[in-house]
Every structure is written in structure tokens, then in C-alpha cells.
Amino acid sequence: MSLTPHALPAASLTALTEAAAAINSTLDLDAVLQTIARLACAVTRAEAASVFLLGDRRKRLVVVAATGGRRDALIGLDIDVQQGLAGHVVRTGEPINLVDACNHRRFSKQIDDISSLRTRTLIATPMVYRGEVIGVIEVVNRLDETGFDDHDQKILKVFAAMAAGATQNAKTYQDLQRRFDGLRESVMKRPTIIGQAPAFKRVLELCDKVSPSNATVLLLGETGTGKELTARYIHNASRRRAGTFVAINCAALPDTLLESELFGHEKGSFTGAHAQRRGWFELTDGGTLFLDEIGDITRSTQAKLLRVLQEKEFVRVGGSKTVSCDVRIIAATNRNLKNMMADGLFRDDLYYRLSVFPIELPALRDRSEDVPELVEHFVAAAVREFGMRDLRITNDTMDRLSRHSWPGNIRELQNVIERSVLMSDGTALYPSDLPQDIQAAVGAAEPCDDLSTLPGQERALILKALEEHGWNQSQAARSLGVSRYHLRHRIKKYAIEKPGGLRRPA
């Protein structure tokens, strides 16, 4: 018997039309499958219906939609594919229609015990997409207490095909959305790397070496030295650049919430877990996960993180199913992990897994020659953000900023610049616009003519380059292999003046 529109009762046609409309109206897979379960139950005049999906490793079946009085207790139930009638349908790829299902040798009471049903009659049909079984849809107990007929079985097959198509469409959409998010992260938040200091150039050289690999990277350094920016640089230079980059501050979340954020959770695993939630290890599959302040995670979370690094798999909070993932880890900390290991606060095995490729980021005071260029960058950014005109930076202002020790590093510098720009008159940035402690810094230049000292030799080298290039600072900077900002800072530091010329007034 073929299932043609003319052979279908009006109720069946209406149900199929409603199911098709649900599929076309939303990409919320849970909502679509719930609608399909409800309509399949209604059309076959069954007491209850369920939809099962296969997990990533095809070893477990998960109830993703159900009808009946205790459907909330069923959704999220995890079943071994080797057990039960649904598992049998998955393994054989063939539908079943049973009149006395509870006495079948493959019947499992697990769902009956949870749902308070007593299964008598049952139809279960595989959900097949491109020749591969991806799940099962089943209905139980005809309301009139008769067995399900051939028509019921055929229309359930149609619902199974619709459910399979909807599932695949939703997964395809999720993959595309994740890739789009990753590309948007890479484009919209492409890091601006600024610095010519030897210590910082060494950092970039190490980043360029490790980027093409999948090696785990551990970024070390004081707070505010640009660890997240460096992690983004590594991601954007890697083969994962089209994937998602996600940054998690481990110190900002309580331990239980951090585990849920990283690994996801199952429904009912803790108070407030009303539905299953995928964590960042699943959502970042194929991309890079940046774990900042890794030294602040507890021993329990350390153990779970170690398993991900070793086995490339994890278990959601409150779950038992193993989930595979392909995520590159870049971790960062401002704490001394070796001291924490000695005190028993950080696992040795996790430390050695994380520090495959350690990179130490220098403090700003150790790359003070980069301050002028950073100041110019942050001033330009603040001017754009606040809708102001270009702002001139006076020599005295730059001198004071360059001499400050910056205990908060680049983050402190950025905050100071934003505040100072707001305090300015809109034409120039003067020392009076800076915070009091920076205003007090001595702004005088440091001339040095003693060629027996390193500063004296540096001054002579800069003077020679300027003279050779007709005092063109851009050309002189290129010949010296430094940035124009770096050169300008040194010219002011050593009070170098063009013969017969005048210095710009402060």
C-alpha cells in the first residue's frame, strides 16, 4: 500500500502539514522534534511518543522529545544503544511493530519505570539521513487498546523522515553559525600588535613558531601585559583561524559555574539546570579556547581539564556520556604555578600538559621604548570612540608617560589615556590632563655625550642616521630597524636637535 495524499485521512494530512510548517518556521531543533512527537502521538492515537538521537560516538541514545505525563523526566535520558527496543532498531536499521512489547526479549523497563507507563503495543522506526541511522521515533499503546496497523507504521515512517531532515538541518545550521561566529571574531577582533622592543619582538617570534601547530601554549606574565591579545594573535596565525576563539576568565566564575561553562551540563544536574546545555568545549570544536587565570581553578576542575588535554573528551556536569572535542588550549596566568605545585595547589601533570610551549610576556617597564607608540595608538582609539578631533600629544606629556613605571602595564596605560583624553581641552594632551602621580614625573630630557656609555653610543648612532637621511625621521627609523615612534622617543630622551632648527613647543 503506497502512502499517497489521497489515501491519507484528513487528520493525518493536517498533522503532516503542521509538522512541515514547524520545520520551516524555526531552527530550534528541540521545539521541532517536540512538535513531531506530539503530532505522531496524535495521528497514531497513541498514549505516548518519544524521539531518540544518537550521540557523537554512536554508543548512546538520548531522549530529546517526548509526550505524556512525565515527559520532563524522560527528556535528556541517556540509554546504552545495546539495550532496549530503540537500540535494537538503531542496530538493525529496521522498524518494529509489536503487540506484546513488554514481553519481547529486548524490551527494557527503564523508560516505563520513569514515565509510569506500562508498554503494551509499540511502533519504533529508524530516523535515516543519507543511508545512516541517526535516531529513532517510537509511539506506544494505542488508546483503543488495539494494535497499531500498517497505516500507523507508514505514517510514523514519514514523521521519522521529517525528524531526520530537521535534525540534520539544525546541525548544519549550528556548524555554519559557529564558523560564522569564529570568522567574525577573527575579523572584528583582529589583534593590533604594537611593539619594537627586543623583549617583545622575541614574544612575537615565539608566537609565529607555535601558531601553525596544535601545541598547547602557556602565557606567563603580570596582569595587563596583553595575554588575551597574544592568544588571539596565535589563533589568527594558526590553521584554526576560521574556527571560533573563545576567552574564559577562570577567576571570574565560581567553580561549579565554571565547570558548567566549560563542559556543559545535563538537565537536573544542579538547581536551575532546567535543560541540557552544551559547554564551550563543544561549542568551540575546531577552534581555540583561551583560559585566562588558569591558576585560579580548583583541583576538581584541574582533573577534568587534564582529561580533555589527554583524551580529547569530557563528560558534561551531571552526565555519563563521553563527548569528543577538537579544541586547542591556550592558557594564561600571572601566578607562579611551580610554587603552587610545591604547595599542592596545582597538579603537576596538568602543569606539564599546559606548559608544552611557555611564553613569558614582558612587563611594560621592560619595554619602555614601546610606550610612545602605544600612547599614540590609544589616543587615536579614544578620539574615535569619543567622537573627538585629532589630539596632539605634547613633548612634556609624552616624556612623563614614558617615564612612568606602569605597574598595571598596558591595561593601566590604556585606562590612563582614555581618562586623560576626556580631561583634555580637545586640541592637545597636556601634562595637567594626566593623573597626579604621572604629572609629578620629571619631564626633562637626558642628554648624554659620553661615548663610553651605552646611552652615549645609542645617541651617536641615532644622530648619525638622522644626518645620513637629511633628518628624515621615517627613513632614519627604517635604517635603524626601529619604528618612527621609537625613534621619536629616543630623540626627545637624548635632546637631539637638528642644527639651526627649533624643537616643537610643548
- pTM for this predicted structure: 0.59
Q: Which of 186, 195, 188 is nearest to 231 (CA)?
A: 186
pLDDT of residue 131: 86
Q: In angstroms, rounded to a whole number, what is the distance separating the alpha carbons of residues 354 and 321?
A: 25
Q: In angstroms, rounded to a whole number, what is the distance separating the alpha carbons of residues 109 and 279?
A: 31
**Are 276 and 323 within 8 A, CB to CB?**
no
The mean pLDDT of the chain is 84
DSSP class of residue 144? T
pLDDT of residue 333: 96
**N residues, the chain:** 506
Confidence of residue 447 (pLDDT cuts 50, 70, 90): low
Q: Where are the alpha helices (DSSP H) in 237-368?
A: 255-263, 280-283, 299-311, 337-342, 348-354
Q: Which of 476, 477, 471 is nearest to 497 (CA)?
A: 471
C-alpha torsion sign, points 483, 486, 491, 494: negative
**Are 137 and 152 within 8 A, CB to CB?**
no
**Are 247 and 433 within 8 A, CB to CB?**
no
* Non-local CB neighbours of 398 within 8 Å, separated by 6+ positions: 372, 375, 489, 492
Q: What is the pLDDT of residues 260-314, one digit of tens each?
A: 888 888 776 666 666 677 888 888 888 999 999 999 999 989 999 999 999 888 8
Please compute the mean of the pLDDT values over residues 182-200 and round it to a whole number. 69
pLDDT of residue 9: 61
Q: In angstroms, rounded to a whole number, what is the distance separating the alpha carbons of residues 84 and 91?
A: 11
In order of start, what are the domains of the chain with their CATH numbers? 5-173 (3.30.450.40), 189-360 (3.40.50.300), 364-439 (1.10.8.60), 445-506 (1.10.10.60)
* Non-local CB neighbours of 116 within 8 Å, separated by 6+ positions: 69, 70
Give the H or E element holding residue 70: none
pLDDT of residue 335: 93
What SS3 class is residue 270? coil
What SS3 class is residue 60? strand
Sheet with 60-66, side-by-side order of all strands: 78-80, 60-66, 46-54, 132-142, 122-129, 96-98
pLDDT of residue 505: 39
What SS3 class is residue 287? coil
DSSP class of residue 121? S
Q: Report the helix count and the strand count for the chain, using DSSP H and E.
A: 20, 15
Percent of the chain with pLDDT over 70: 84
Confidence of residue 12 (pLDDT cuts 50, 70, 90): low
Confidence of residue 454 (pLDDT cuts 50, 70, 90): low
Whether the per-residue pLDDT at 407 is higher than 60: the answer is yes
pLDDT of residue 214: 93
What SS3 class is residue 275? coil
**Are 313 and 307 within 8 A, CB to CB?**
yes
Q: What is the pLDDT of residues 53-105, one digit of tens each?
A: 887 566 788 888 898 777 778 888 888 888 889 999 999 999 999 998 889 98
